[in-house]
Chain A
Amino acid sequence: MNGYDPVLLSRILTELTLTVHIIYATIGVGVPLMIAIAQWVGIRKNDMHYILLARRWTRGFVITVAVGVVTGTAIGLQLSLLWPNFMQLAGQVISLPLFMETFAFFFEAIFLGIYLYTWDRFKNQKKHLLLLIPVAIGSSASAMFITMVNAFMNTPQGFELKNGELVNIDPIVAMFNPAMPTKVAHVLATSYMTSAFVLASIAAWHLWKGNRHIYHRKALHLTMKTAFIFSVASALVGDLSGKFLAEYQPEKLAAAEWHFETSSHAPLILFGTLEEDNEVKYALEIPYALSILAHNHPAAVVTGLNDIPEDERPPLYIHYLFDMMVTIGVFLMVVAAVYWLGSIFRWKWTAKNWFFGLLVAGGPLAMIAIEAGWYLAEVGRQPWILRGYMKTAEGATTSAHVDTMLVLFCLLYIVLVIASATVLIRMFRRNPVERELEERANRGEVAP
């Protein structure tokens, strides 16, 4: 076959599905928590603005959940369709969390259906809020289970390989592998952070356009505070992830940091470009920072790429992905901190239009950081699909039709992304906040 490469095509198709799915999955994990916070604040303060906020977020959330469900079904099946050899091997050890993920999602789906249709059915709003808790638990638990599987691909354990057969299998040990704690914590914290920034973007957008309604101010305040808390959490877990990598996956850290020679007192390289024969140009070097990131000590020895066999080194471009993720993360944390300080000390400039403009960019930026982070995690594991046991090329399908399927799924995702965006925009344009507030005020709901 002329240039037909099922391995490369399978990789592209998997990347494509995950790129789309992660947007909706991140929202799916983070937004239920935000809705719960808004509804809870609304009940506590007896303020209809927050209740309405929860209502409107829920309406938008359902649309994103729908796309999350269908793209999630796609990736679930594509694991077996595109990587049959990998699933045949890994399935023997790691199917338990995959199975549990389905239960968690089932649980979430049932209660989301109930929550959605019971807004006015209970006299006591608190009872309605209770129905949201299983939704939030279910979505976070499914993120946890699926991330366990991904962690297992990075640091597989819980089995032994003897004569090509897997023996002494322990599914629990496989689930609680070394990559699991930092990965799960990072996925959850960044999902909450990103969802908060995305919702903050919407509020900031209205303020930026000149609509200074108190509803949008309250929305921005609530989301930015939450975003700040989870940005700090994400950064802390990110630091722990560095230490995890240094110990268990040094090649990923070394490639991401362009750390070519094993050495002590290692500096952290930020930005820069890579010239021929691995010369780094235009970079910002922070002395000792890599040693600190890796082992909490400025003099610690950090493994370089020279200690990794040549055919097991990840591609070096992951450094740019690392830069992107970290820069955006830190930038957003600072912006959220400034916003909070501004609201405490009543600074004038944080209520200016240009600052709102900056906040509008926060949501999309956070989403870009999520994508960069996942690309870093996945490309950084190459050439392995199951680190140390199976190379990506060995896991792929041999089917002759991956190219056609790639085109098919491209079209599907274009339709889904455009359609979901238009539906969301139209839904909220048609029913602006002001009109809904007026209707609710007429029915006797109160806002202080």
Chain B
Amino acid sequence: MTLEVIGISVLWLFLFGYIIVASIDFGAGFFSVYSHWANQQHILHRIIQRYLSPVWEVTNVFLVFFFVGIVGFFPKTAYYYGSILLVPASIAIVLLAIRGSYYAFHTYGETERNWYLLAYGLTGLFIPASLSIVLTISEGGFVEESAAGVALDYGKLFASPLSWSVVLLSVTSVLYISAVFLTYYADAAGDEQARALLRRYALLWSGPTMLSALLIIYQLRYHNPEHYDNLWNVAWMLVISFLFFVITVWLLGRQRRFGWAFIALLFQYAFAFYAYGISHYPYLLYPYLTIYDGFTNETMAMALIVAFIAGLLLLIPSLYLLMRLFLFNKAYVKGKWEGGKG
């Protein structure tokens, strides 16, 4: 394995981590607001709050990790993506800012504002939509390079069916991933009412995610034939991904082993996400930038990898502690132990 491949694999892993934890967070926010609006707040509110409270900051860090890491390993991405993403990324920052601050103000400041609550729920869908645009752009065809620099063709981007399919997949995935996780979480908390509702949401969103994924593959054939052909080389990964999808839906349908249902979902997304990433290789941005011509020098790459390993040695025990104290602490999950907040 070359340093380039190690670098991009590590980053891809972080992006995958972000997609999972952020989806849970975004979807939970949306369900929480939806239930407020549909007068079912009493069912979902407590379970969602209990999960989100101690972990919200951690979610954001995964994203920061990814973009700091990609500029570190591939400094040329700063030039290409930095130049073209000013508008979409700025919009994403604003949405993330509104969402993050609202969450803290609401939870710790105990303020209640309806318009802010609405913004919180909607940003949960708009953020993944605006971030997923980056994946569409990476397929090429929307960027023009001239002597003045690189620029994004917004007209083409918005008119492209591919970008809308990617948006669709990101939004439906957020709702699906989140619902499956929260079903498991509600089950662990012994909250049957919440579990039943969330299980319904999970089943409701399972089909649409699969359909929009198929739609993307179909459109890729016309938009980026090279990528489409490469995708066939890893078709076996997509098949495995689909089998895990079937397992999740089957377990949810049988109403048992919700934890395994979520683990199967993790594998489903991991296989699909890596199949996409591997077939995208070696391009970071079709056709301008590959991982080889965008790579940093060897010394920096080694330094980053060493820092990364040292950092993980510090973080994994800390994350384990966080999980033991909250996410997987029976007393906490069941709400027996509420007191403690400063």
A→B interface (CB under 8 Å): 55-56, 58-59, 62-63, 65-67, 69-71, 73-74, 76-85, 87-89, 91-93, 95-96, 98-103, 105-107, 109-114, 116-121, 134, 166, 169-172, 397-402, 404-405, 408-409, 412, 415-416, 419-420, 423-424, 426-427, 430
- Of B60, B75, B86, B315, which is in contact with the most chain A CB atoms at under 10 Å from its CB? B86
With A59-B342, A106-B315 already in contact, the answer to whether A424 and B109 are too (CB < 8 A) is yes
Q: Is the interface of A mostly helix, strand, loop or mixed?
A: helix
| Contact between chains at A96 and B72 (CB < 8 Å) | yes
A-B contact pairs, 9 of them (CB 8 A): A62-B108, A73-B97, A84-B82, A85-B79, A103-B314, A109-B58, A113-B57, A398-B151, A399-B83
Other A-B contacts than A73-B60, A82-B86, A95-B304, 12 sampled, CB-CB below 8 A, are A66-B101, A78-B93, A79-B78, A80-B67, A87-B71, A117-B54, A118-B325, A121-B340, A134-B318, A399-B151, A408-B90, A412-B94
| Contact between chains at A92 and B296 (CB < 8 Å) | yes
Question: Which residues of A are found within 8 Å of B308, using beta-carbon distances?
Answer: 99
- Of A58, A73, A401, A430, which is in contact with the most chain B CB atoms at under 10 Å from its CB? A73
| Contact between chains at A95 and B299 (CB < 8 Å) | no
Question: Which residues of B are found within 8 Å of A62, using beta-carbon distances?
Answer: 104, 108, 342
User: 9 smallest A-B Cβ distances: which pairs?
Assistant: A66-B104, A84-B82, A95-B72, A91-B75, A87-B78, A423-B109, A80-B82, A103-B311, A70-B97
**Among the listed B57, B72, B151, B314, which residue makes an inter-chain contact with A109, where contact means beta carbons less than 8 Å apart?**
B57
Q: Tell me if B87 is interfacial: C-beta within 8 Å of chain A.
A: yes
* Docked pose: A102 CA to B11 CA in angstroms: 14
A48 CB → nearest B CB, Å: 14
A388 CB → nearest B CB, Å: 19
**Among the listed A96, A106, A169, A424, which residue makes an inter-chain contact with B61, where contact means beta carbons less than 8 Å apart?**
A106
Chain B, interface size category, equals 35 or more
**Among the listed A101, A107, A119, A408, which residue makes an inter-chain contact with B94, where contact means beta carbons less than 8 Å apart?**
A408
Q: Tell me if B135 is interfacial: C-beta within 8 Å of chain A.
A: no
| Contact between chains at A81 and B90 (CB < 8 Å) | yes
Question: Which residues of A are found within 8 Å of B111, using beta-carbon distances?
Answer: 423, 426
With A66-B103, A399-B83 already in contact, the answer to whether A77 and B54 are too (CB < 8 A) is no
Question: Which residues of A are found within 8 Å of B296, using beta-carbon distances?
Answer: 91-92, 95
| Contact between chains at A169 and B297 (CB < 8 Å) | yes
Q: CB-defined interface of B276-308 with A at 8 Å, one 1/0 digit per residue?
A: 000000000000000000001101100110011
B→A interface (CB under 8 Å): 53-55, 57-58, 60-61, 63-65, 67-69, 71-73, 75-87, 89-91, 93-94, 96-98, 100-101, 103-105, 108-111, 148-149, 151, 296-297, 299-300, 303-304, 307-308, 311, 314-315, 318-319, 321-322, 325-326, 337, 339-342
With A87-B82, A91-B75 already in contact, the answer to whether A120 and B104 are too (CB < 8 A) is no
With A59-B108, A117-B53 already in contact, the answer to whether A171 and B299 are too (CB < 8 A) is yes
* Docked pose: A84 CA to B82 CA in angstroms: 5
A404 CB → nearest B CB, Å: 8
Residue of B nearest to A13 (CB): B90
**Among the listed A92, A120, A397, A420, which residue makes an inter-chain contact with B101, where contact means beta carbons less than 8 Å apart?**
A420
| Contact between chains at A92 and B75 (CB < 8 Å) | yes
Question: Which residues of B are found within 8 Å of A91, using beta-carbon distances?
Answer: 71-72, 75, 78, 296
Residue of B nearest to A165 (CB): B297
B5 CB → nearest A CB, Å: 18
* Docked pose: A95 CA to B86 CA in angstroms: 21
| Contact between chains at B307 and A96 (CB < 8 Å) | yes
Question: Which residues of A are found within 8 Å of B60, using beta-carbon distances?
Answer: 69, 73
Question: Which residues of A are found within 8 Å of B101, using beta-carbon distances?
Answer: 66-67, 70, 416, 419-420
